[in-house]
């Protein structure tokens, strides 16, 4: 149940009147959530930014807690009204939190409430309230209640006396203690009341009752002794240090622990020596606990090293703790012992503790030992060593990972961890090795390497600059994009994305030699970079280096056999080399892969025309005209097909007069399609002038005029 749930509608609203309701009204200043009666098994921690957990055992406690700020600040008249006539759920909160402001005139009424045992919660609240009245009646009432047979009433009254700021209250609790101590001795009764008092004194430590606490610290029960020791540590006592040192030898572990905690907090020489001696004694006995190790670590006790080294071989349960302690207080001399015992360690935590120590004390020794540590099926150890290697960011770490990965079989479960670590070490060697792994036949290895490469590239210091250059290119600010890609390459000469991006921009700017150089560098960095060989082939074709283009496009086909573009591009290169049979084969393969590949469609038509199958060639282009008729490249390729058809007829005369007429018709159609391509946007004057497919047009005046028209479209 949430104490404020039933009251939340009143939060933030000032209310000056009390409404009749099943629940008490919550004033506006309440801003905390207090919970109670949580379901069993609840593990969530509820807390506020200003203090500890706000979870209470019952609704009454929650209401008292949540009302504190209210009753500390409302007008006194309203406070008195609440105590007299308020809701039974909120009256205890008003008594407790409003106590410092309740006038003395109310004392008789408060005393009367404190004696009404039919309402225990209200009675206890009144007893707490009496601690704020500097009056003998209040003290007497509390003293009487403190001796009640009802233990909860007794404890509440004692706590009110002990917590009070007034000397009379504090004096009274000591008088009660002295009286009952004397009575217990005389009657030989159980010292239950005295223990109750001591518990309160320990809860509210004051110098005036240090002696009483000191006596209790030497007398059972143990739990009360511990409380007394903690209270004495706050208020001080001349005999405390001696007592604490003596209790270190006590058979009660709880007392030993408490004494040790207090002595450890002290900075004087005697306390420090006592703590050190205790820790060394525990080591000699072979029974060290967490406190012992903490002391050894805190004080860096060198005398402990021999015993710790002995325990290292025998104490299997605490071995990790021993290793970590030795690593903290020792130096490189202890590493021999760690390496010696390493093969016999069975737990991952112990092995990892040794590896952490090696790395912490001597990184060179760690790197030397790393290959041995990685030769294990323990993936926790593999992950730990891999992470440490990547954190060293050294070439030696790269060499270690490459050698270990190279020795692994494809199904080795260590591979993904090792490859991932290598992806954090950006060196030319790691990059080349990951590229090789990415092309592995093992899908698992290949994917791990691909992920590692992506991580390596993202972590490059020029990644952001290259990405920015890509955005600049998409905004068509090509000169600036070139500069940005160049800066990225200068910052990281092995960063492939920058070469690819700059090559694309060079192509757009028709700087084909520069584009070719960047694509070749990209292929050198990664011979399987997507589309790199195909792009090299296309640039070589543009530069009329058709033999080289065929070789690059063949590599592209081998790398991506399902890409129709590479077949059509190689078909074009073969066509330019006048190897028309291979050209047609590539075009048809491209069309099989992509029935809508326009270049393949027109390429087949061109091959048919070159081989004299003119009618079939014309039917091919006519069948595609409806879909691609408005494409300038399609129109240009149709012009080439008509020109090649005319060329074939001219080279193969039939002697018939109509053949000359058909040649002229084909040339006119070729010129018409060329003009149409220009009107649609085609403007490559240089290629058009040199294109052998248009050789039949070059003697015609109209062709020259079309070149001039094309040149006007593209002044460059």
pLDDT in tens, 326-384: 999 988 889 999 999 999 999 999 999 999 999 999 999 999 999 999 999 999 999 99
DSSP character for 413? T
Looking at residue 43, its pLDDT comes to 41
* Pair 425, 401: CB distance under 8 Å: yes
Q: Which residue has the tokens 């039933």?
A: 6
* Token reading at 34: 């207090």
**Mean pLDDT (10-residue bins), the chain, 716 residues:** 32 31 46 56 42 63 78 91 88 92 94 90 95 96 94 94 95 91 69 88 93 91 92 94 93 92 93 94 89 93 93 90 92 92 93 94 94 95 95 93 94 93 93 92 92 93 95 96 97 95 96 97 93 96 94 95 94 91 92 91 91 92 90 94 93 86 93 94 90 91 91 66
Q: Where are the domains of the chain?
A: 596-716
Percent of the chain's residues with pLDDT above 90: 72
Looking at residue 181, its pLDDT comes to 82
Dihedral (CA of 536, 537, 540, 542) sign: negative
CA distance 478 to 480: 5
Interstrand relation of 35-36 and 47-48 (parallel, antiparallel or unpaired): unpaired
Looking at residue 381, its pLDDT comes to 96
* Pair 673, 628: CB distance under 8 Å: no
CATH topology of domain 596-716: 1.25.40
Looking at residue 45, its pLDDT comes to 40
Looking at residue 48, its pLDDT comes to 41
pTM metric for this prediction: 0.65
Looking at residue 712, its pLDDT comes to 74
C-alpha distance from residue 298 to each of 125, 199, 328, 333, 657 (Å): 46, 32, 9, 20, 112
């Amino acid at each position: 149940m949430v104490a404020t749930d039933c009251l939340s509608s009143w939060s933030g609203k000032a209310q000056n009147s009390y409404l009749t309701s099943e629940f008490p009204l919550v004033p506006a200043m309440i801003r905390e959530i207090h919970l109670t009666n949580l379901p069993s098994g609840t593990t969530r921690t509820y807390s506020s930014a200003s203090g500890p957990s706000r979870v209470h055992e019952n609704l009454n406690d929650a209401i008292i807690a949540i009302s504190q700020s209210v009753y500390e600040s409302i007008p006194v008249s309203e406070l008195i009204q609440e105590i007299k006539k308020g809701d039974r759920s909120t009256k205890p909160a008003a008594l407790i939190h409003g106590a410092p402001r309740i006038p003395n005139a109310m004392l008789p009424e408060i005393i009367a409430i404190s004696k009404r045992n039919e309402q225990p919660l209200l009675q206890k609240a009144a007893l707490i309230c009496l601690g704020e009245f500097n009056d003998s009646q209040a003290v007497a009432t509390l003293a009487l209640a403190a001796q009640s047979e009802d233990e909860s009433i007794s404890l509440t009254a004692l706590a009110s006396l002990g917590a009070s700021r007034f000397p009379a209250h504090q004096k009274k609790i000591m008088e009660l203690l002295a009286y009952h101590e004397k009575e217990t001795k005389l009657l030989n009764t159980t010292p239950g009341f005295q223990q109750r008092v001591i518990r309160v004194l320990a809860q509210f430590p004051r110098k005036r009752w240090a002696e009483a606490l000191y006596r209790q610290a030497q007398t059972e029960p143990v739990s009360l002794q511990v409380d007394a020791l903690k209270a004495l540590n706050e208020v001080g006592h001349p005999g405390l240090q001696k007592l604490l040192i003596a209790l270190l030898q006590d058979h009660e572990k709880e007392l030993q622990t408490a004494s040790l905690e207090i002595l450890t907090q002290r900075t004087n020489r005697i306390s420090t020596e006592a703590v050190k001696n205790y820790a060394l004694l525990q080591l000699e006995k072979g029974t060290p606990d967490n406190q012992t190790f903490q002391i050894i670590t805190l004080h860096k006790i060198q005398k402990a090293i021999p015993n710790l080294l002995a325990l290292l071989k025998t104490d299997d349960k605490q071995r990790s703790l021993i290793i970590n302690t030795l690593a903290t207080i020792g130096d490189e001399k202890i590493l021999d012992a760690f390496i010696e015992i390493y093969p016999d360690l069975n737990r991952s935590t112990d092995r990892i503790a040794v590896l952490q120590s090696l790395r912490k004390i001597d990184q060179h020794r760690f790197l030397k030992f790393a290959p041995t540590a990685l030769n294990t099926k323990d993936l926790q150890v593999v992950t730990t060593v891999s992470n440490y290697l990547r954190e060293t960011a050294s070439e030696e770490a790269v060499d270690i990972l490459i050698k270990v990965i190279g020795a692994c079989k494809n199904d080795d479960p260590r591979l993904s961890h090792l490859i991932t670590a290598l992806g954090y070490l950006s060196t030319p060697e790691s990059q080349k090795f990951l590229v090789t792994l990415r092309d592995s036949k093992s899908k698992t290895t290949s994917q791990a390497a691909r992920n590692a490469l992506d991580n390596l590239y993202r972590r490059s210091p020029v990644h952001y600059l290259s990405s920015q250059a890509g955005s600049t290119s998409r905004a068509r600010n090509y000169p600036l994009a070139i500069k940005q890609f160049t800066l990225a390459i200068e910052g990281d000469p092995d960063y492939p994305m920058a070469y690819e991006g700059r090559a694309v921009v060079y192509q757009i700017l028709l700087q084909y030699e520069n584009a070719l150089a960047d694509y070749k560098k990209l292929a050198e960095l990664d011979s399987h970079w997507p589309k790199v060989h195909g792009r090299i082939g296309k640039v070589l074709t543009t530069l009329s280096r058709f033999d080289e283009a065929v070789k690059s496009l063949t590599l592209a086909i081998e790398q991506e056999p399902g890409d129709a573009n590479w077949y059509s591009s190689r078909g074009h290169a073969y066509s330019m080399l006048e190897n028309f049979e291979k050209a047609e084969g590539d075009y048809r393969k491209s069309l099989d892969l992509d029935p809508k590949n326009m270049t393949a469609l027109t390429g087949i038509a061109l091959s048919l025309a070159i081989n004299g199958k003119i009618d079939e060639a014309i039917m091919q282009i006519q069948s595609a005209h409806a879909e691609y008729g408005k494409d300038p490249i399609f129109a240009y390729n149709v012009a080439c097909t008509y020109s090649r058809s005319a060329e074939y007829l001219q080279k193969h005369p039939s002697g018939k007069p109509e053949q000359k007429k058909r040649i002229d018709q084909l040339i006119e159609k070729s010129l018409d399609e060329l003009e149409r391509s220009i009107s649609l946007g085609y403007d490559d004057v240089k290629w058009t002038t040199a294109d052998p497919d248009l050789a039949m047009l070059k003697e015609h005046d109209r062709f020259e005029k079309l070149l001039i028209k094309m040149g006007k479209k593209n002044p460059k």
